[in-house]
Amino acid sequence: MGVLLFVIIGIVDTIDATHQGNARMSTQISADLFLLVMIVILLRLILSSAIASSNGVKVRNPLHMRSFAWDEIQEFTLYEPRSGPMYGRVELKSGEHFHIFAIMSGVMPYWEKKVRGQISELNDLLQRHQGMLASSQRAGENPPRASQRIGDEGLGTAT
């Protein structure tokens, strides 16, 4: 809602600037568009997430979103570049990897401990799911369908 209000104020200001000449108007439009793009990117960064479900993990990054089934994932790691913050990665069995910007450390030791805990938690979920899949295959059962919640098979499908 705040972004919409910001855009409306910018448009009204731009229309008002037409009385002062085209140069000021084009500069104002450029500045408004730049700020709008920056706000959208900032919101996308703030809304970045990694969501685990019975089907797998959905990773929402600033520019794109992707879902991974549990059986596609090799492991979750913490990537440590030479400079800059550490961030989470999904390592796929195909050899590809995908960044998780929602899991990123800052400069404080607390943040590093927090992101290491988040990666550990995701790896625990992955191991739990792989164990359930292996035991159901040994028993000759079908693995849980994507529409069912693991552990709630008798309660019906998830909505």
Q: Residues 49-65: pLDDT tens digits?
A: 888 888 899 999 888 89
Residue 38's pLDDT band (cuts 50, 70, 90): confident
Residue-level pLDDT at 6: 59
Tens-place pLDDT, residues 108-138: 677 888 888 999 999 999 999 888 877 777 6
Predicted confidence band of residue 72 (pLDDT cuts 50, 70, 90): very high
CA distances from 37 to 2, 23, 60 (A): 14, 21, 18
Amino acid 129 reads H
Q: Decide: helix, strand or coil at residue 66.
A: strand
Q: What is the pLDDT of residue 159?
A: 35
What percent of the chain clears pLDDT 90, i.e. is strictly above it? 24
**pTM strictly above 0.95:** no
Instruction: Say if residues 31 and 127 touch (Cβ distance below 8 Å).
Output: no
What is the Cα–Cα distance from 87 to 108, expressed in whole angstroms?
Answer: 14
d(CA 101, CA 113): 16
Residue 4 binned pLDDT confidence (cut-offs 50, 70, 90): low
What is the rounded distance in angstroms from the CA atom of residue 36 to the CA atom of residue 33? Answer: 5
Task: Name residue, tokens 């140069």.
Answer: 23
